[in-house]
A and B are shown apart, each in its own frame.
Chain A
C-alpha cells in the first residue's frame, strides 16, 4: 500500500511537471556564425514508447500452448553480452508476439525462425507453419549448449527443448517431408512439421562409437525417405574412410579405401567417386552402376546425368542404361528442381532444356540466348533486345526498355533496367508495368504468414532499403545503417533496430513497440 501511495505521489509530481511546457528550441546564439543554421524544425529526441500487452502477467520463458494466439512473430527483445575466452560478444534474444501486439513469450530465445531448406541452385523453400525456437543454457565448466524445440507458428503445440540443429541439416532438403534434428546426444530424428511428432528416429550410438569426427554429418547426409546414409571416419593411418549406415538396423559397412566421396542417397542410390571414376552404390555398398564415368550427379525423377571419359554427357536410368545422350556441344548439365523441374544442357553458345521426363523443351523462335530463372521460367533474349519469359507453353514478351527479367513470383516479374539504376515490375497477366526508381537491387519477398508477395529494393544512391507492394506503392523505407531491414509479417511491417522492435500497420500505426533494454555504447 505504501508503495502504491508512493507511486501515486510520483505520478502526481510528474504530471504536475508536465503542466509547464518546455521552451521552444534555442535560436542561434551567435549573430556572426560562419554557418547558416535553422533551429525552427528541431524537435526533442524521442525515445521509443513501448506499446504492447501481455498474455501472461508474469515473465514467460516458454510457449504455453493455446488455440487463440493466431500467428506468432519472433521479435528481437534483448541483447546480452557473454564473456568467453577473454572476449565478450553480444547475442540477441527473441520473444514471440501476436499480430495484435500481445507478448506471449518474453525475449529468452537465442534464435527463433521458420526453417528454410536452401537448395544447391540457390533457391530456398521455407516452412511457414512452424518455428524452431532455441534456448542456450550455460554448462558449468563447459561450452554453452543450445537446445531447440519445434513450435506451431500459432503456438497451439510446442515440443520440449530436446533438439539441436545445424544449418547443414537443411541444405538441399524438402523440409515439408520432415525436419531433421539431433535429439539429445545420441538420436537422429525427423519431426513432422504438422504436429511435431517424431516421424522417424535412429539411434546414432553405433556410429558415434566408431570415432566419427563429425557425427552430425550422418544426419545432414540422411533423407527422411532414404534408409541409408553415407558417413566418413578417419582410419587409424589418418586417411579418410567412407562407409554406409543402415540407420533402421543400426548397422554399417565400411567401403574400400579407394572411395573418395559419397553423396547422400537419392532414390536408393548413392553417387560414389573412386580413383578410377564415378558410379553408383546401393545401400549394401554394391556397385549398381560401375565407376566408369568421369563425373556423376544425383538421381532425380528416375534419371541422373553423367559424363563419360570422352567428355560427353549421358542421362542414365537407375539400372545404368542410357536414357538419352546430351548434344556433343554440351559442356555442362544442370538440374533445376522445384515445381517445374528442368534439366539444362549448356554449351559455349547454345542451350538445350529438358523437362523431368527428358523431353526437349522448344524455346520461342528468335531466341538469341537464354537463362533459367526460378520456378521453371526461362528468360529468352530476342534479336530486338527485348526478352521473352517462357514456361511450359506460357510466354510473356517484354520490350528492351523494361530491362532483363531476373526473377518471377506470383504472376509478376522483376526486370533490371540496363543502366542499373532502376528495376521494372511487370504483371505477367496484364503486361502492366511500373518502374521502381533508385533501385540498385530488387527481389521478391514473401510474407510467411499471409503468403503475400512484396518487393524489397536497395538503393546505393539513397542508401536505403524500400519495400514495395506488387502495385508499385511504397510500403516502407529504412536506411542501410539500420540494424535490420524491414519485412512483412502477417501484413504488418516488422522493424527491428538497435534499440527497439516494432510492428506497424502499412498505414504506419504502431501495433507493437518493445524497447530493447541494453544500450551498447
Chain B
C-alpha cells in the first residue's frame, strides 16, 4: 500500500509537471497603461505578507501587476505564516495581508496597539476531512465530527463504518487549520488530546505513523484546508468526506451549502488611504479581475469568475 501510494503520488507529480500550460508566446504584446490606470512598480508595490497557503496567490498578484514571472517576483513575497503576518501588519513591517483568519492573539495584539483593520474576504475556504480510500464511510454529520474530535465517538462502527477504533489526527495549534477547526467545528467542545502527539517515536512503525501521518492508516481521519487538499495534491490516495451530505466543491463552498465556512482575507490598516498603492491593491483584489486571478490560482473566489 505504501509503495502504491508513493507511485500514485509520483504519477500525479509527473502529471502535474507535464500539464503546466505553455509559457506565453514571446511576442505577447505588453499592455500599455491607459492614462487613468494605476501602474504598480517594484518601488511602489506594497509589502505583502500572509499565510503559507496564500503564497501562490501572492506570487500571482505580483506577477500580474508587475508583468514579471512568478520566479522573478519571488523575492517580493515574504510570507511569514498566519500569526506572524498579523503581527507584522500591526508592527508596520507589512502593508497588506493575504491571509487566513487569525487567532485571538492576533486581534488582541492589534487592540493592545490601538490599531484598526480593514478586512475583506477575497476567497472562500473550508476544512475538509479525509479518510483512507478503503474506509467505507462516505459522510459524517458536523455533530459526528465534533463528537469524534472531542473523544466521545471512538469507533467507526458508531458512524456507519467498520468495527475499528478511530485514529483522529489533528493539526498543530497556531496554524490556520487548527484555528478553523476550533472556531468553526468544535465551538465550545474541547478537543481531545491528539493521537499524533508524539513528534518522534522510537519504533519504525511509529515514525512512519508520525511522519507520514496521512498514509496507510485505514482507521485514521484527518483534516486540512480545501486549498491544500484540492489544489496542492495533499489528499492523494485519500477520500474526502461529505459533511451533512454536502461534498466540498468550489460551488458548495462558495454558495455556503458546505457547512464549514471560513475565508482568506485581504487585510490592511484601516487608516490606509484608498488612493495609496496598498489601498488600490486592496480594492483590486475585490474587483472582478482580482477575483478572476484568485479563481485562476485555484482558490474559491468569493465572486463567480468570469474568465
Question: What is A's interface to B at a CB cutoff of 8 Å?
Answer: 3, 6-7, 10-11, 14-15, 17-18, 21-30, 33-47, 49-50, 58-59, 61, 77-78, 80-83, 87-91, 93, 106-110, 135-138, 144, 462-464, 477, 479-482, 498-499, 517-521
Say yes or no: A38 contacts B78, CB within 8 Å. no
Stretch from B32-40, B137-145, B146-154, B248-256 at the A interface: B32-40
Stretch from B4-12, B110-118, B156-164, B239-247 at the A interface: B4-12
Say yes or no: B28 contacts A43, CB within 8 Å. no
Say yes or no: A47 contacts B210, CB within 8 Å. no
Out of A17, A37, A38, which one reaches B15, CB within 8 Å? A17
B284 to chain A, nearest CB (A): 5
Known: A21-B21, A34-B37, A36-B34. A26 touches B296 (CB 8 A): yes
Say yes or no: B20 contacts A43, CB within 8 Å. yes
Known: A26-B292, A26-B307, A108-B207. A520 touches B63 (CB 8 A): no
Known: A15-B15, A35-B284, A44-B21. A520 touches B75 (CB 8 A): no
Out of B4, B78, B174, which one reaches A480, CB within 8 Å? B78
Say yes or no: A18 contacts B4, CB within 8 Å. no
Interface centre among A35, A44, A77, A518 (most CB of B within 10 A): A35
Docked complex Cα distance between A482 and B193 (Å): 32
Say yes or no: B4 contacts A3, CB within 8 Å. yes
Out of B4, B67, B74, B174, which one reaches A7, CB within 8 Å? B4
Docked complex Cα distance between A3 and B6 (Å): 13
Say yes or no: A519 contacts B224, CB within 8 Å. yes
Beyond A10-B8, A15-B18, 16 extra complex contacts between A and B, CB < 8 Å: A14-B12, A21-B19, A26-B296, A30-B288, A34-B36, A38-B64, A41-B67, A42-B64, A45-B56, A78-B211, A80-B196, A108-B200, A108-B207, A135-B202, A520-B175, A521-B51
Is B171 on the interface with A (CB-CB < 8 A)?
Answer: yes
A485 to chain B, nearest CB (A): 13
Is B218 on the interface with A (CB-CB < 8 A)?
Answer: no
Question: What is B's interface to A at a CB cutoff of 8 Å?
Answer: 1, 4, 7-8, 11-24, 28-31, 33-34, 36-40, 51-53, 56, 59-60, 63-70, 72, 74-75, 77-82, 100, 170-178, 193-194, 196-202, 204, 207-208, 210-213, 224-225, 228, 232-234, 280-281, 283-284, 287-289, 292-293, 296-298, 306-307
CB-nearest residue of chain A to B4: A3
B17 to chain A, nearest CB (A): 6
A256 to chain B, nearest CB (A): 47
Docked complex Cα distance between A43 and B67 (Å): 11
Docked complex Cα distance between A299 and B179 (Å): 57
Q: Which residues of A contact B63 (CB under 8 A)?
A: 41-43
Q: Which residues of B contact A137 (CB under 8 A)?
A: 200-202
Docked complex Cα distance between A30 and B283 (Å): 14
Q: Which residues of A contact B75 (CB under 8 A)?
A: 462-464, 477, 479
Docked complex Cα distance between A17 and B20 (Å): 12
Docked complex Cα distance between A520 and B232 (Å): 13
Interface centre among A7, A15, A45, A50 (most CB of B within 10 A): A45
Interface centre among A17, A26, A106, A462 (most CB of B within 10 A): A26
Say yes or no: A521 contacts B11, CB within 8 Å. no
Q: Which residues of B contact A15 (CB under 8 A)?
A: 15, 18
Q: Which residues of B contact A480 (CB under 8 A)?
A: 78
CB-nearest residue of chain B to A146: B200
Out of A23, A59, A108, which one reaches B21, CB within 8 Å? A23
Q: Which residues of A contact B29 (CB under 8 A)?
A: 40
Say yes or no: A24 contacts B21, CB within 8 Å. yes
Say yes or no: A36 contacts B38, CB within 8 Å. yes
Say yes or no: A35 contacts B172, CB within 8 Å. no
Docked complex Cα distance between A421 and B207 (Å): 48
Say yes or no: B37 contacts A36, CB within 8 Å. yes
A20 to chain B, nearest CB (A): 9
Say yes or no: B211 contacts A93, CB within 8 Å. yes
Say yes or no: B289 contacts A17, CB within 8 Å. no
Q: Which residues of B contact A18 (CB under 8 A)?
A: 15, 18-19
CB-nearest residue of chain A to B47: A463
A77 to chain B, nearest CB (A): 8
Docked complex Cα distance between A89 and B194 (Å): 13
Say yes or no: B212 contacts A43, CB within 8 Å. no
A36 to chain B, nearest CB (A): 4
A506 to chain B, nearest CB (A): 18
Q: Which residues of A contact B176 (CB under 8 A)?
A: 521
Closest 9 CB pairs of A and B: A481-B78, A81-B172, A38-B67, A88-B173, A36-B33, A45-B56, A22-B21, A14-B15, A80-B199
Say yes or no: A88 contacts B172, CB within 8 Å. yes
Say yes or no: B31 contacts A47, CB within 8 Å. no
Q: Which residues of B contact A90 (CB under 8 A)?
A: 172, 174
B184 to chain A, nearest CB (A): 15
Out of B4, B31, B197, B200, which one reaches A36, CB within 8 Å? B31
Say yes or no: B199 contacts A110, CB within 8 Å. yes
